[in-house]
């Protein structure tokens, strides 16, 4: 409002007070990682109603969970699917390797051979996987074609043998000897000289029904335990 004494911004003052009051009403919830990542607290998030937490996505690095600095380039995405008391429980929704790290693997006179595969796990989870092989030297078109086929065959074969949790761990922890990246590297190095194989990205299209059923059972058990205590 403008007066002879100058500008008085009363509406803005009221809005700031309303914002402060709104934040005071919010409650803080612990974000808990999925079982495959240890079911540990990974942060906190506010909400004035717990229903608003459902489907909220959280991004952390693998380093935040393991404390291993070699995992700082791996970004994880979780989604809240259940809220019990002060804890917001999550499921794995995907992971991605940071672009700066990927650029460091790309060299002149070398090749980056990538492909996208729709994998289905033993317990019927659907995951879209992006995998890449970084070579020491530039590859021929025929070699690239063979490498892509090898990557596709291995990912599809391994996904059919592994559960959702097993597949996620095998894709994320690429340094392990039994990881997907290691399996592919062993096969691809027979075709061309390689620098690195990385699972660049995972996107969960559908979580397995087993995970959904387990969460419902756990929730009902916890509610029953609370009723016994009260």
Where exactly are the structural domains of the chain?
19-96, 98-206
Q: How much is the pLDDT for 214? A: 52
Residue numbers of the chain with a pLDDT score lower than 50: 1-8, 10, 217, 228-230
DSSP-derived 3-state class of residue 198 = strand
Fold classified for 98-206: Tetrahydropterin Synthase; Chain A (3.30.479)
Q: Which residues share a beta bridge with 73? A: none
Backbone angles phi, psi at 9, to 5 degrees: -100, 65
**C-alpha to C-alpha distances, 124 to 35, 78, 85, 106, 200, nearest whole angstrom:** 18, 19, 31, 34, 22
Mean of pLDDT over the chain:
85
Q: How much is the pLDDT for 26? A: 80
As a whole number of angstroms, the distance between CA 75 and CA 25 comes to: 31
- Tell me, rounded to whole angstroms, the distance of Cα 122 from its chain centroid: 20
How many Cα atoms occupy the beta-carbon half-sphere of 189 within 13 Å?
10
Nearest to 222 by CA among 79, 89, 48, 30: 89
- The torsion region of residue 59 among left (phi > 0), alpha (psi -120 to 50) and beta comes to beta
Q: How much is the pLDDT for 24? A: 66
Predicted TM-score (pTM) of the model is: 0.80
As a whole number of angstroms, the distance between CA 182 and CA 180 comes to: 5
Nearest to 202 by CA among 117, 123, 122: 117
**C-alpha to C-alpha distances, 189 to 51, 143, 175, 222, nearest whole angstrom:** 50, 11, 16, 50
**Model pLDDT for residues 133-143, shown as the tens digit of each residue:** 999 999 999 99
Residue 50 buriedness (CB in 10 A; 0-12 / 13-18 / 19+): middle
């Amino acid at each position: 409002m403008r007066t002879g004494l100058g500008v008085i911004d009363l509406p803005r003052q009221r809005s700031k007070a309303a914002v402060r009051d709104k934040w005071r009403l919010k409650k803080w919830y612990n974000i808990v990682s999925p079982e495959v990542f240890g079911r540990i607290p990974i942060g906190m998030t506010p909400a004035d109603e717990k229903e608003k937490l459902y489907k909220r996505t959280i991004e952390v690095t693998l380093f935040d969970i393991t404390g291993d600095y070699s995992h700082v380039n791996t970004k994880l995405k979780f989604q809240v699917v259940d809220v019990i008391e002060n804890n917001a429980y999550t499921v794995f929704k995907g992971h991605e390797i940071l672009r700066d790290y990927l650029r460091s693997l790309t060299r002149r006179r070398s090749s980056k051979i990538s492909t996208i595969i729709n994998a289905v796990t033993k317990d019927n989870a659907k995951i879209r996987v992006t995998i890449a092989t970084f070579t020491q030297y530039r590859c021929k078109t025929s070699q690239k074609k063979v490498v892509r086929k090898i990557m596709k065959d291995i990912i599809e074969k391994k996904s059919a043998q592994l559960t959702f949790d097993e597949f996620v761990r095998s894709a994320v922890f690429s340094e392990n000897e039994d990881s997907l990246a290691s399996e592919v590297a062993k096969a691809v190095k027979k075709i061309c000289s390689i620098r690195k194989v990385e699972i660049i990205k995972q996107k969960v299209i559908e979580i397995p029904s087993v995970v959904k059923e387990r969460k419902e059972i756990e929730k009902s058990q916890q509610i029953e335990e609370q009723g016994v205590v009260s």
